[in-house]
Amino acid sequence: MATRLLPLFPLSVVLLPATPLPLHIFEDRYKEMMGEVISNSTEFGVVLAKEDGIVNIGCTATVDRVLQRYPDGRMDLLAVGRRRFRILSVDQDKSYLRAEVEYFNDEEVSEVPADLRQQAIAGYEKLRAVESPNVIIEPLLDAPQLSFQLAQFVGDVEKRQTVLSIRSEVERLQFLVAMLPGYTEQRQLVAKAKRLAPMNGHAKHVGGR
């Protein structure tokens, strides 16, 4: 029996399971890909695209709904992350990439200590206070895999890729608890710099000599 190849959508973002991903589809190859995905109600794979190629661990997505279709075939849609995979081989027979993949989940499902969940949520809330103008989605704080819900607010793709790759909810939450304070501090500095930038510009010259 032939293995079904997973269509790949390389992006500069890291999609996490059970999190939303708004997309604007405009390239012809991805119009073709999404046409087939929508018609057949199948998954496609989102992988992080880097300068030297794509990473080998990604997350599948399904189209939750098409928000708008344009006369030229472009479309706005909302996708949702589903399951993680590792790329085994890449196929280039179509206009877009496809891959033979191996799906995976956590290697062990153990009880997550309540205090660890609370520490992770507290770290997220401090980050959210900094990023609040840009937050338009609410995390599901009672989700079994809380780590993915919280990590969607981390803009650093390398850190998100690390979360995606770890195969233990306890280890993912521990990573977030250790990482979030320093990351939040960096985001605070960026926000402060943006606020101060207009004050450091040249004064507008009015009048003549």
CA–CA distance from 52 to each of 6, 12, 14, 49, 91 (Å)?
A: 21, 13, 16, 8, 18
CA–CA distance from 147 to each of 16, 70, 150, 180, 197 (Å)?
A: 10, 36, 5, 12, 34
Paired strand residues for 62: 80
Rounded to an integer, what distance in angstroms lies between the CA atom of residue 194 and that of residue 173? 30
6-104 CATH pick, 3.40.50.620, 2.60.40.420, 2.30.130.40, 2.40.50.140: 2.30.130.40
Query: Which residue, chain included where needed, has tokens 């098409």?
Result: 66
Domain boundaries, the chain: 6-104, 114-196
Q: For 109-128, how does the pLDDT look when each residue is reduced to its tens digit (9 = 90+)? A: 778 999 999 999 999 999 99
Q: For 24-77, how does the pLDDT look when each residue is reduced to its tens digit (9 = 90+)? A: 999 999 999 999 999 999 999 999 999 999 999 999 999 999 999 999 999 999
**DSSP 8-state symbol, 166:** -
Q: For 153-192, how does the pLDDT look when each residue is reduced to its tens digit (9 = 90+)? A: 999 999 999 999 999 999 999 999 999 999 999 998 887 8
